[in-house]
Amino acid sequence: MEQKKRVLLGMSGGTDSSVAAMLLQDAGYEVVGVTFRFFELNDSTEYLEDARILASRLGIRHITYDARKIFHERIVTYFIDEYLAGHTPVPCTLCNNYLKWPLLAKIADEMGIFYIATGHYAQNIQLNETFYITYAADSDKDQTFFLWGLKQDILNRMLLPMGDITKAEARAWAAEHGFRKVATKKDSIGVCFCPMDYRTFLKDWLVRNGQMSVSNSEASINNSQTSGSDKQTWSDRIRRGRFVDEKGNFIAWHEGYPFYTIGQRRGLGIHLNRPVFVKEIDPENNEVMLASLSSLEKTEMWLKDWNLVNQERTLGHSDIIVKIRYRKQENHATITITPDHLLHVQLHEPLTAIAPGQAAAFYKDGLLLGGGIIVNAR
């Protein structure tokens, strides 16, 4: 079979990549599946067996690729470092743009395969000589936000078979073809290595890496009523600190600055007669500033590590849509490049809870035009 009719598919063992394998086969491709070992929560490898069994049923060659070391170095360590810097990390964005898709391309090249694919809910098109990612048919599952960093060397060979169907249709399709387990698998939630609560993950990491004592960890996690500094001492750097208002006045004590994110309202552990949100995080002084929601509004931001698919379509136009959240939110903006090579995003409407470390993605006419990592906002 000619090289361009072969495709290397990332198979996680879940519903989406499994249905993607079947759809690619139906479209006439020779599919080879690769399952990446990125992180195994509670040492579970059930996903490997699920992917292997599915590949066997479909007659697909299947391989595994152990990427745990590089995943820890590039994603987990980054995730921890960003919270320790008072930032809000975007591990799924970095994993997709700088690890998962480049690894797929690398392995495909080594196997003499041109096309690479995943089960992402997104579509892609070619306009003139440029390839773009576009919104998925299922707006509730659309994952374009995580793919803004991909460049033409990836975009020109990617296949996205799940882009034009909904999740409900994918489950029904699997069931109709006799893949009952695939059809009923639960959706993955959150970050793969801490699917529910990053604070618990971070506290556990601090214990395992000698940044805090187990007794102090247990006291804080279990909300012990022990008194004195022992209750909240995480380390010389991460310890009990001050919630303050915009004038610097003391409000209450917090557990330690890494356990809060800009825009956060719930889980502060304090009770006031008014709603307050995290406005700023000061790692040097271990202070977390609280304020009203309106005071979190910003009208411009600056981005580093940016990628633009087509600068002519993006720069200087007043009708660019910018998103800093996976779902729902979108604002209009004008984007320019600063002399120090940052992207400046001038928002046309105020936007709340912009945090350093977050990602911003740009859209126009349904096309994903690029994005970057937020450095600052005001």
Q: What is the SS3 assignment for 75?
A: helix
Residue 100 contacts residue 12 (beta carbons within 8 Å): no
How is residue 318 written in tokens? 């007043």
DSSP β-ladder status, 123-127 and 241-244:
unpaired
Per annotation, catalytic residue among 95, 354, 359, 369: 95
* Residue 194 annotated to the active site: no
User: How are strands ordered across the β-sheet holding 115-117?
Assistant: 61-66, 30-37, 6-10, 115-117, 158-159
First to last CA, the chain: 56
φ, ψ (nearest 5 deg) of residue 294: -60, -30
* CA dihedral sign of residues 99, 105, 110, 113: positive
- The C-alpha atoms of residue 94 and residue 146 are separated, in whole angstroms, by 8
Residue 289 CB neighbour total at 10 angstroms: 21
Per annotation, catalytic residue among 84, 111, 192, 221: 192
Query: If you ran DSSP here, which 8-state letter would residue 342 be given?
Result: P
- The C-alpha atoms of residue 204 and residue 187 are separated, in whole angstroms, by 25
- The C-alpha atoms of residue 56 and residue 223 are separated, in whole angstroms, by 49
Q: Which residues are catalytic?
A: 95, 192
